A and B are shown apart, each in its own frame.
Chain A
């Protein structure tokens, strides 16, 4: 009898174990790089901690050419969902999806889908706009520095949103942009920041994978906005806010829907996440749960800006817009027309906001942006 019970318990345990959903992650960089891959891995860990039926596994630093063999291994090991976290894995993912029609694939930043390939992305443009408002209020010189990785639409969209925010507070302000043509290069980020400091920039935002800009700006007493992960600890007195990613929100949503049978290897053709503040996939903050560093709140309350025909404290405006854009049905959008580019060409006509397509292919530069702008439309 006792043996029978033990056997039953074992069988039950086995069947429960079988119930686990195995999701596997393909990373382009090392998990410790403090940037892109690190953030995905934080998301993976949080999802695994929150979902008891989830089992995960990852392989890091996978060059694009090695992706097919790693995917083969994942499938052999029983992965039912495979997340590929680099744009460059696109062909490998589509190829593998044909080879393994019963496996679900999700491709971060991807643009091509299939019945068993979904795409997903979390975007910061709203948060950049809000941080631009704060930057415009805090700059005394009217020059805001921006250290940027590569001149691609994603980065241009973020600079534009940021510049629109800066100009909404200070219509004469300039956003000085310097390209470092690297996602990760601390020396370039440092010297680009130094160059901007020497040109009078006193507030900084950036897009690259290290806290170098924050650290360098703080040494000269300049304010900065963190990027991608919380950066308050790198300059507690000078980091005002920042953009923080929450990949776990997307991962958990996706995996729950797979488990519930909403997503199958046959119906993902139109599943594309472009998640924003309202989905909680991104956060405005100097740290998790700290939208604005309390040390800088009084200054932002004192600063005023025009909204319609009223003068309001910049702080109130930021918090009101943050609340609006975090609600299920936002009324405000940074790219609501009419918006002209820096050459005066109307890019988004009055009466509507930028379409997803316009956001994803943005090449123009917003008014106030100063500096080289590769690929700028004539």
Chain B
């Protein structure tokens, strides 16, 4: 039991961080479908720097690449007002491809000094609380939400819509980068092409299921982690085929979050903002 709860938190952590990153951007009105690619690039950057310098510099590099990834998406989705869904998918594909290409020489190398998972998991949990406070208890959070709900009104009140969205993408990117660094420095201290294995997409789905609420994202991420572990813990002791068990985390998380209340997206989500239109 203790073991299961520990796994819930430790495997839920990368999911939680990535989902918080996506959530932050989406509350400002920008859909970030690039999570998977940004995470992969950050994981690679973190691992490469950790090998040459130290895992702490690696962590910083992962966050840094995440911030850059968020800003890169911003250029297309905010400044150029490209379709944010297409831009995000492009970032995801590019990130995966580029990390695979650049990471060839790091394949199959061990990291001698991995980071402990526990402290990072605690940081992730505190970040979720902080994000909740930021969104609902601070003036900047209010600006961010208003930009996501009604950018025209926010603009009239003198809030820079583009500025807020860029900052949200950058900060969110940093969180996604932290998720990537957690994967390659702590969760599984090594680098292989495609090591994010779809976690980025799960994170995006989680944000929607958790109705864009940081605290519900915490619940969803840990629940997913728990069920992911249990599918192997219970395999063989219950007469259910292993393939059915593998679907359990996805199904139950959808069920629980769907039953736990309303879901309303930020009103301006996915709409590029242009003054005067």
Q: Interface of A with B (CB < 8 Å)?
A: 30, 32-34, 38, 176-181, 184-188, 190-192, 194-196, 198-199, 210-212, 215-216, 229, 233-234, 370-372, 374
Of all A-B residue pairs in the complex, the 4 with the closest CB atoms, nearest first, are A371-B236, A195-B232, A198-B3, A195-B233
Known interface pairs A181-B246, A195-B232, A211-B190; A32-B107 also in contact (CB < 8 Å): yes
Known interface pairs A229-B108, A374-B241, A374-B242; A215-B189 also in contact (CB < 8 Å): yes
Q: Tell me the bound Cα distance from A185 to B193 in angstroms.
A: 11
What B residues does A195 contact at CB under 8 A? 229, 232-233, 235
Known interface pairs A181-B243, A190-B188, A374-B241; A33-B232 also in contact (CB < 8 Å): no
What B residues does A196 contact at CB under 8 A? 232
Is the CB–CB distance between B235 and A233 below 8 Å?
no
- 1/0 per residue, CB under 8 A from A, across B231-252: the answer is 1110110000111001000000
A221 to chain B minimum Cβ distance, whole angstroms, is 15
What A residues does B231 contact at CB under 8 A? 191
Q: Tell me the bound Cα distance from A229 to B194 in angstroms.
A: 19
Closest to A211 in B: B190
- 1/0 per residue, CB under 8 A from A, across B1-24: the answer is 001100100010000000000000
20 contacts between A and B (CB under 8 A): A33-B107, A34-B192, A38-B107, A176-B236, A178-B235, A180-B232, A184-B192, A185-B197, A186-B197, A187-B11, A187-B187, A188-B232, A194-B3, A194-B7, A195-B235, A198-B4, A210-B192, A211-B110, A371-B235, A372-B236
B135: Cβ under 8 A from any A Cβ = no
Q: Tell me the bound Cα distance from A179 to B244 in angstroms.
A: 12
Q: Tell me the bound Cα distance from A374 to B4 in angstroms.
A: 25
Is the CB–CB distance between B193 and A30 below 8 Å?
yes
What A residues does B236 contact at CB under 8 A? 176-178, 370-372
What A residues does B199 contact at CB under 8 A? 187
Closest to A212 in B: B188
A217 to chain B minimum Cβ distance, whole angstroms, is 13
B195: Cβ under 8 A from any A Cβ = yes
Q: Tell me the bound Cα distance from A195 to B234 in angstroms.
A: 9
What B residues does A185 contact at CB under 8 A? 197
19 extra A-B contacts, CB within 8 A, seeds A33-B193, A211-B110, A372-B235: A32-B100, A32-B108, A33-B107, A179-B242, A180-B232, A184-B192, A184-B194, A186-B195, A186-B197, A187-B11, A187-B188, A192-B232, A211-B108, A215-B110, A215-B190, A233-B110, A371-B235, A371-B236, A372-B236
What B residues does A233 contact at CB under 8 A? 110
Known interface pairs A30-B100, A374-B241; A191-B232 also in contact (CB < 8 Å): yes
Chain A binding surface, main DSSP class = mixed
Closest to B7 in A: A194
A98 to chain B minimum Cβ distance, whole angstroms, is 35
A35 to chain B minimum Cβ distance, whole angstroms, is 9
Closest to A176 in B: B236
Closest to B230 in A: A195
Closest to A29 in B: B193
In the complex, which of the residues A38, A194, A371 contacts B108, with contact meaning CB atoms closer than 8 Å?
Answer: A38
In the complex, which of the residues B103, B190, B229, B235 contacts A194, with contact meaning CB atoms closer than 8 Å?
Answer: B229
What A residues does B228 contact at CB under 8 A? 187-188, 191
B7 to chain A minimum Cβ distance, whole angstroms, is 6
Closest to B242 in A: A179
B104: Cβ under 8 A from any A Cβ = yes
Q: Tell me the bound Cα distance from A229 to B104 in angstroms.
A: 16
Q: Tell me the bound Cα distance from A375 to B141 in angstroms.
A: 56
Q: Tell me the bound Cα distance from A196 to B229 in angstroms.
A: 10
Q: Tell me the bound Cα distance from A362 to B3 in angstroms.
A: 35
A215 to chain B minimum Cβ distance, whole angstroms, is 7
Q: Give B84-129 interface residues, CB cut-off 8 Å to A.
A: 100, 103-104, 107-108, 110
Q: Tell me the bound Cα distance from A199 to B243 in angstroms.
A: 21
In the complex, which of the residues B110, B190, B229, B242 contacts A191, with contact meaning CB atoms closer than 8 Å?
Answer: B229
A256 to chain B minimum Cβ distance, whole angstroms, is 29
B191 to chain A minimum Cβ distance, whole angstroms, is 9
What A residues does B103 contact at CB under 8 A? 32
What B residues does A32 contact at CB under 8 A? 100, 103-104, 107-108, 192-193
What A residues does B241 contact at CB under 8 A? 372, 374
Q: Tell me the bound Cα distance from A198 to B189 in angstroms.
A: 21
Q: Tell me the bound Cα distance from A371 to B104 in angstroms.
A: 37
Closest to A216 in B: B188
